[in-house]
Amino acid sequence: MQSQLHTNLHDIVRTLLPSVADEKPQTVVQFTVRDQRLSAYVVVDRTEHGETLRVEDGKHGRPDASIFLSTADLADIASLGCVRGPVSMTGSPPLLSSFRDRFMSISPAGKAQIEEITRSQVSAEVDRISIAAISPADFIQRYAMASRPAVIVDAMPKRDASPWTIERIRSELGDASVEVRTGNYVADIYKETMQTKELRLAEYLASHGDGLADSAQATPRPYAASNGVPWDWHLWLDYPPFVPEGLCQYAKFWIGPAGTTTPLHRDWLDNFLSQLVGTKRIALVSPHHAPLLSPRVIHAGLDSCNTVDPFEPQHQVTSTCDPVFVTLNAGEMLFLPAGWFHDVRSTSFSFSVNFFLMRIPYAVCPPDWTTLL
């Protein structure tokens, strides 16, 4: 048992090393297997002859990274090559990001699998569902594992009990600092040329927050987009229903007036986009249409298609990629499965938070049903 554990930990660290360009003579990765109350660490020694790895029981005094796993995670790594649940980790960012890339990210084969699954779907509309009418297990099977988007109409009880307004955002959240996309960010998105500025949220709201979309404007309205949610906001946010809370901590917020836009792109994580204030109109394009859209790979988790406008019926691709349009109202959450292209437009002042699920997409890696609920 113990020696099997040593072999597993040795193999995990061996897998992490190629993407961690470490020049130090020694690296130590501490593991804790919570449910077995076991600790062991892997020591990597580097000499001019190469790297050697050894596994020791117990706790190391100064590990470079500490990773907390469970017996189920170790079994998943051995059988599926990935973990399905959230994993607590601290320490060296390159080691942790190597662990995420290797054991918690979708592979190229997984991406192809999602494109294949969605090829046979025929639906001109996105289902609107209620948490009262569907169990978590049904949601995971019908939507998450099938890579099918859905709007959940009643998933935000905290927001409903205490609605947000622009005034309340200004007074309670105004100190948060935000990066604001400016200039022609739709054309320049994800490029080095994209202009941004740092502001306090209250300053952004004062200078750009209200006002109506002006169709004559040459550039889109500045957008406080994709900012990491401050930790204290997690105290009042409504987390997505149906999935374990531990998966929901990678959250971003989006605030802007009517006319702010995120052009067509796709993320390779399952995602819930929750609408706290205002309304958004969203065009969705199925993953299997990727060949029509020629996406530009920004990084392993993000592809951009910002030159395709699915809201423009005359655009040469729009007629063939069958966009599905969704209106997301305050109090609703859109489940956006990994790999679905989306173009998002605010049709009023809007405040949204999105939650990327910290696991390999359900469509590729099913849940461990024993720990789902």
Ligand X SMILES: O=C(O)CCC(=O)C(=O)O
Cα–Cα distance, 121 to 329 (Å, whole number): 25
CB of 326 to ligand X, least distance (A): 12
Q: Which residue, 69 or 353, has its beta carbon nearer to ligand X?
A: 353
From 354, 361, 362, 365, residue interacting with ligand X (rule: CB under 6 A): 354
Three-class secondary structure of residue 306 per DSSP: coil
Q: Which residue, 176 or 225, has its beta carbon nearer to ligand X?
A: 225
What percentage of the chain's residues is helix, strand, coil (to nearest 5)?
30, 30, 40
Return the closest-CA partner of residue 74 out of 65, 83, 66.
83
First-to-last CA distance in the chain? 29
Is the distance from CB of 274 to CB of 352 less than 8 angstroms?
yes
> Does residue 306 bind ligand X (CB under 6 A)?
no
Q: Which residue, 318 or 352, has its beta carbon nearer to ligand X?
A: 352
> Does residue 309 bind ligand X (CB under 6 A)?
no
> Does residue 27 bind ligand X (CB under 6 A)?
no
Three-class secondary structure of residue 240 per DSSP: coil
Q: Which helix H or strand E contains 344, and what residues bound it?
A: strand 341-346
Helix 2-16 / helix 71-80 crossing angle, nearest 10 deg: 60
CB of 232 to ligand X, least distance (A): 21
Q: Which residue, 92 or 352, has its beta carbon nearer to ligand X?
A: 352
CB of 16 to ligand X, least distance (A): 28
Cα–Cα distance, 262 to 250 (Å, whole number): 19
> Does residue 267 bind ligand X (CB under 6 A)?
yes
Q: Which stretch binds ligand X (CB under 6 A): 7-15, 34-42, 148-156, 267-275?
A: 267-275
CB of 48 to ligand X, least distance (A): 47
Q: Which residue, 105 or 352, has its beta carbon nearer to ligand X?
A: 352
CB of 269 to ligand X, least distance (A): 9
301 class by beta-carbon count within 10 Å (0-12 exposed, 13-18 middle, 19+ buried): middle
Give the list of residues 6+ apart from residue 140 with CB closer than 8 angstroms, or none. Answer: 242, 243, 362, 366, 367, 372
From 82, 156, 273, 330, residue interacting with ligand X (rule: CB under 6 A): 273
From 98, 271, 306, 318, residue interacting with ligand X (rule: CB under 6 A): 271
Site map for ligand X, 199-238, x if CB under 6 A? Answer: --------------------------x-------------
> Does residue 275 bind ligand X (CB under 6 A)?
no
What does each C-alpha distance from 203 to 167, 183, 288, 367 come to in angstroms?
13, 18, 42, 43
> Does residue 343 bind ligand X (CB under 6 A)?
no
> Does residue 303 bind ligand X (CB under 6 A)?
no
| Binding interface with ligand X (CB under 6 A) | 225, 254, 262, 267, 271, 273, 342, 344, 352, 354
